[in-house]
Structure 1
């Protein structure tokens, strides 16, 4: 770049006839605030997904482990040390923030929010610089800032606790700073230091950052070629060498752990539409429905490229920069993928997204120079498109995340002493621990309440050892909860743990929670068939009450809760007087008597015995069915006096069964259908 071109660029910035400085700055500030507000909106509405839990685990680890990328996977028995597939810079930012503000989703994702927000002023700055050089049409910077503030791709990764938004921002920022360095006859120290610091952050955010260094090498070479030819080659090859070292280190760390084995080669004919759709309309659309709008974005980007390459003068001023910014990383990644597939989806090339947005903006600005109304119409079309995608993102469940919160609430209301919690796979331990009541189970184990939690399949064990371990656990616990996430199924792709439990225990329940791309199941298994020929020795309170001359409550037991806010375990011992073909259900309530007036209902359980798995139609006279039931969490005072109210009814007609036989001291409500059982919390 000649000094004359630089002089003209400086004059162009001062005398381009643009809006007054305060108006431009006001517009930029408004767009920054718009981007920030949109990114913060419902930032914690979606649960974390598995990849984000790895970010959390790394960010909250010790500083040395964080820098080394050490992630320890555990199953409650043993541990497995793994190395994360990303360098450290993003997680350092997260770690600093988490240590001061906590580990909530909002905090964990906030570095991505800031990175996506900063893309607006960074693209503005790069756009203005290229406009000043005559590479882009006037107005490109403003259009770029608007499109960046509304871009659905930046929204998606700006609300995800992963490094992709930061990587995209640093790609643009490092290129802008290098551009400023190469505009001077001698490099300005502030710009040079800024570039080197940003380059370091860029390279330590994602190993694929090395794909952009050939573009930086070309920029340095072109600048130094006329000033210091001997240093031009040194600088260019130096940058390429740095890129090679970073890429080599990343490849070694990833491949030695078997990383990339689930990648398949993606040809250019598939990659380009995928990238075009992602950078234009984001990930919250169906590409088959919006392909035509993707083409509008792509056509405008081509217009922007054409404007920069319209003459030798514009090419010499840097018209080659943005096309090369887009093309070189794609070609390099394709070349690498011929040896080892390295592309799965657009996030792996998110460093290109800023350049693409700037080229689309340049295309709009070029159209505006010839026909403002046409540019305005195109802009409205683009804004409507990204608005549609944004609405999908916030409202359509298929673009959400797995409902770990729902699974956690479900478990917390049903966990009882004597329960075993199995988490499949153990690689998801951190996200399970974040949302599920794992701490409640661990607390119960410490307090001697017979609970435990393990990850399955067990690490470092073959399937014979795993099944032997499951058999040992089956003999130690009354019930087994199995939580299975399909997000990372590689340890148990055939779901052999579930199959073993189905063959060797009694499955009582299965609840599926929302998962947009896989599954999230919570299942309950009973370790022993709960049918006895004599009264079990651990029954605390005999009752001997008969409902409707058909169903007898032999007795009941009320256990201790796992914690103050946990479910109240109630064990019911049933018997049938004679065979029946009728399904009966019961209503169990926890009441707090009042000195005057109706007692207060604190909790209610209504179900068929064992939720219909062992219904009354299968009961045989003389056999006792022991049912582990529970009442939902309710506030209980240690010195309180409470009542359990029990009713039976016909499942089809809903007719309540009268109490037809009871001991003389039994408490029966005046309605004749409600049995009242005293309960005092154990100290």
Structure 2
């Protein structure tokens, strides 16, 4: 019945959110429910309702990713009926498996005589009414901050890349997933919605990730309940409900929320096996499926394998299960994970672009500027106090320190616990005072006390296995992010779940102690008051920065920072800011292009290529030929160099033409090339300009945001029409070219030339490209020189292995006589005019330019 209703709702045109929800129900929720039922149909210990619900939600994401991945491998483009048929077949297959298992069900004989262990958990007073109140609070608070105003902000940075590549999957670019530098989930999930509904908006693209972020809170509660008690688990989830990183991730088309959900459930399932290792083939199969789903989102999902692996090894070490029996139970799960991961990562690793991916990850993310080991403590604190109020950040740090001191107090002799605790407090005080206080020459040694403190707690005696595994889960990725990776930035979220669980154990311990002294009734009243106070203090900051959008607070921080919130910085961090409200009016530009009001190439002060490519629907962005310029404002402030560069460009003949109005304020300024030479074009008044209110163009743009659009580099790697593989100086390959022009070609016409480059190694120099067609001693008939990708992708920025698509427009000179002329290309250093040599297969120099083809001007 639900599937039938979802099929019908897919065909509703407006509002666009309804068919998007139907698509997620049909492709994700229902298959997830059936998959969990199929896995546990014969289990001697089926999951509880809470477990089954969360397993189904998370499994639904895995089904969507895998089915859409297989559909994307079909030759040609992806039609709506193909996607619908694929998910209907998946439903039919799962229904058949469930029916067959129910029909042939018989009592399962335990093949592992595992010893169950009794959970040594607190026995809190938690009547059903209290648990229900906790559930409602978590649902309301978590849902409000994650689902409110999903469609206000325009796509930011990598979000637009995911949307563009979703369109590319539908159009049939077969290697678009393989040039992505991480797992395909963040592309495939919006592709499901895009393909089944025919439209993709900011709200519909973000919805799967927002729902995953909300479900992750309940997964953390369930995990905490099983490992450290119901109250501690709820407190952990409640704290994460206000975490700005996690809220931001729920507001963007990126993978993090999916990893938070799957990781919590992977550890929960491993813990279930640890407690009751009775023929865990069903649990281990689901564990592998969810872990593989996380890894199909990003490599950092592997962090969940640390605590899960520890718990499974503990079962063997404690002798409660023999390893051959556990290995037999794990075979279906191992096969499931291998098939899922192999389906994507084998072609991913074998693709030529993997060299570029490897360089990016190793040299730019893991390695980079600064001396190893790194010290990211200051960067972490400043960014965290941008995403969160300083009060929240300090409270979380304080609770973690309290959990560490409490662990030492229980695991060490009194004197040693006091010494260790004093040392930790001293180190923290010094680090807050000066984060680089512990240096030896050029080497920062701050990692030493942090590492020792965590290693000590890992090996403390008298610590429950559950608590030990949480410390391991926290410590390994924390040390990696703070000291072993050059630029962790927002990737620090991978240790937030165990951090919250440890904070929750402290809160629960304090509450139980308080209840013993004052009684349950007073304790519940005080606890409720504390919950309300935390909701107000933490929630008001989050509301102001992430939900409220009449004023974009972070962008206008100096004018609109919330009163009463102390900040440890003069201005917010300006890097890796995602999920905050930001709209510049790009939808107006897309609608104006569609209406023909504006046409021609453009330039903008938006640094990344993704956002303009999505909203202009693939119009050419090229400063060399631009007729339009779009001035926007980002969360990352533009420096004086950026402003001078923009002003210098606009002096080449641009003046103000129009403006986009958002919430009654001028936002995007549109410039048009008129030939006017103004000294300061940006200082022209805005009065009298054409005004385009964003609200009048939102729906019209959303309706035209269909998969059929022009896709260009870097969103896709287009097929090469004329392959070459020419070697320039053992540094760069010219892999080929495409060429198009009017036929017959006349003087004054334009030749459109696309070159495809690939770096063989890291390049230090900044080479300029020449494209020339001439005769005699160098009489030019057509010429265009320029730096690659319209001056935006200098050769020193190329990653080895990445295919660079480089477009040029060569005007044929008016005086060019009819005839057949060779077309050459190559590279040179502009300052010295020294050209890169062209080499043959044996490495011998054969020239300094590459003959592409011959062009004919005039009739044959």
TM-score for both structures, normalised by structure 1? 0.57
Q: Is 2:599 the counterpart of 1:456?
A: no
CA offset digits 1:60-113 (Å, max 9, x no partner): 33269788554xxxxxxxxxxx82222012332222123334311111111121
Gaps of 5+ in 1: 71-81, 131-135, 443-452, 458-465, 531-609, 615-627, 636-683
CA RMSD of aligned residues (A): 5.2
Change (3 A) 1:455 1:408: same
Q: In structure 2, what is the equivalent of residue 298 of structure 1? A: 400
**Range with greater deviation from structure 2 (101-110 or 408-417):** 408-417
Q: In structure 1, what is the equivalent of residue 221 of structure 2? A: 124
CA shift at 1:312, angstroms?
7.3
Q: Is 2:251 the counterpart of 1:159?
A: yes
Q: Is 2:210 the counterpart of 1:113?
A: yes
CA shift at 1:326, angstroms?
0.7
5 Å-filtered alignment, 1:628-639, equals none
Change (3 A) 1:507 1:49: same
The correspondence for 1:422, drawn from 584, 588, 602, is 602
Q: In structure 2, what is the equivalent of residue 83 of structure 1? A: 179
Aligned with 2:275: secondary structure?
coil
Aligned with 1:160: secondary structure?
coil
Q: Is 2:513 the counterpart of 1:362?
A: no
Contact kept, 8 Å, 1:308 with 1:319, in 2: the verdict is no
Q: In structure 1, what is the equivalent of residue 159 of structure 2? A: 52
Q: In structure 2, what is the equivalent of residue 325 of structure 1? A: 473
5 Å-filtered alignment, 1:192-231, equals 192-225=284-317, 226=319, 227-228=321-322
Q: In structure 2, what is the equivalent of residue 408 of structure 1? A: 588
Change (3 A) 1:199 1:115: same
CA shift at 1:420, angstroms?
3.4
Q: Is 2:548 the counterpart of 1:397?
A: no
Q: Is 2:532 the counterpart of 1:352?
A: no
Q: In structure 1, what is the equivalent of residue 271 of structure 2? A: 179
The correspondence for 1:432, drawn from 612, 620, 630, is 612
Aligned residues: 476
CA shift at 1:152, angstroms?
3.2
Aligned with 2:600: secondary structure?
strand
Q: In structure 2, what is the equivalent of residue 73 of structure 1? A: none
CA distance in 1, matches of 2:246, 2:274: 29
Contact kept, 8 Å, 1:170 with 1:198, in 2: the verdict is yes
CA distance in 2, matches of 1:430, 1:212: 31
CA shift at 1:164, angstroms?
1.2
Aligned with 1:348: secondary structure?
helix
CA distance in 2, matches of 1:304, 1:90: 40
Change (3 A) 1:506 1:381: closer
Q: In structure 1, what is the equivalent of residue 118 of structure 2? A: 8
Change (3 A) 1:34 1:526: closer
Aligned with 1:524: secondary structure?
strand
Contact kept, 8 Å, 2:374 with 2:483, in 1: the verdict is no
CA distance in 1, matches of 2:636, 2:230: 49
CA shift at 1:171, angstroms?
1.6
Change (3 A) 1:177 1:292: closer
Q: In structure 1, what is the equivalent of residue 447 of structure 2? A: none
Q: In structure 2, what is the equivalent of residue 388 of structure 1? A: 540
CA distance in 2, matches of 1:142, 1:405: 41
CA shift at 1:158, angstroms?
1.3
Q: In structure 2, what is the equivalent of residue 669 of structure 1? A: none
CA distance in 2, matches of 1:187, 1:266: 49
CA distance in 2, matches of 1:34, 1:66: 41
Contact kept, 8 Å, 1:152 with 1:389, in 2: the verdict is no
Change (3 A) 1:282 1:326: farther
Aligned with 1:185: secondary structure?
coil
CA shift at 1:176, angstroms?
0.9
CA shift at 1:137, angstroms?
5.5
**Range with greater deviation from structure 2 (60-69 or 29-38):** 60-69
CA offset digits 1:4-28 (Å, max 9, x no partner): 994422xx78x93643446535632
**Range with greater deviation from structure 2 (170-179 or 211-220):** 211-220
Q: In structure 2, what is the equivalent of residue 283 of structure 1? A: 387
Q: In structure 2, what is the equivalent of residue 256 of structure 1? A: 359
Aligned with 1:83: secondary structure?
coil
CA shift at 1:272, angstroms?
4.5
Change (3 A) 1:150 1:62: same
CA offset digits 1:647-676 (Å, max 9, x no partner): xxxxxxxxxxxxxxxxxxxxxxxxxxxxxx
Q: Is 2:234 the counterpart of 1:142?
A: yes
CA distance in 2, matches of 1:120, 1:145: 5
Aligned with 1:85: secondary structure?
coil
Q: In structure 2, what is the equivalent of residue 557 of structure 1? A: none
CA shift at 1:520, angstroms?
8.4
Aligned with 1:199: secondary structure?
helix
CA distance in 1, matches of 2:609, 2:392: 38
CA distance in 1, matches of 2:115, 2:404: 25
5 Å-filtered alignment, 1:542-561, equals none
Contact kept, 8 Å, 2:209 with 2:254, in 1: the verdict is yes
CA shift at 1:199, angstroms?
0.8
Aligned with 1:8: secondary structure?
coil
Change (3 A) 1:494 1:416: same
CA offset digits 1:119-152 (Å, max 9, x no partner): 222112111211xxxxx35621232333333433
Q: In structure 2, what is the equivalent of residue 100 of structure 1? A: 196
TM-score for both structures, normalised by structure 2? 0.46
CA distance in 1, matches of 2:609, 2:186: 22
CA distance in 1, matches of 2:293, 2:303: 15
CA distance in 1, matches of 2:196, 2:592: 29
Q: In structure 1, what is the equivalent of residue 32 of structure 2? A: none
CA shift at 1:49, angstroms?
0.8
Q: In structure 1, what is the equivalent of residue 715 of structure 2? A: none
Contact kept, 8 Å, 1:112 with 1:163, in 2: the verdict is yes
Change (3 A) 1:264 1:165: farther
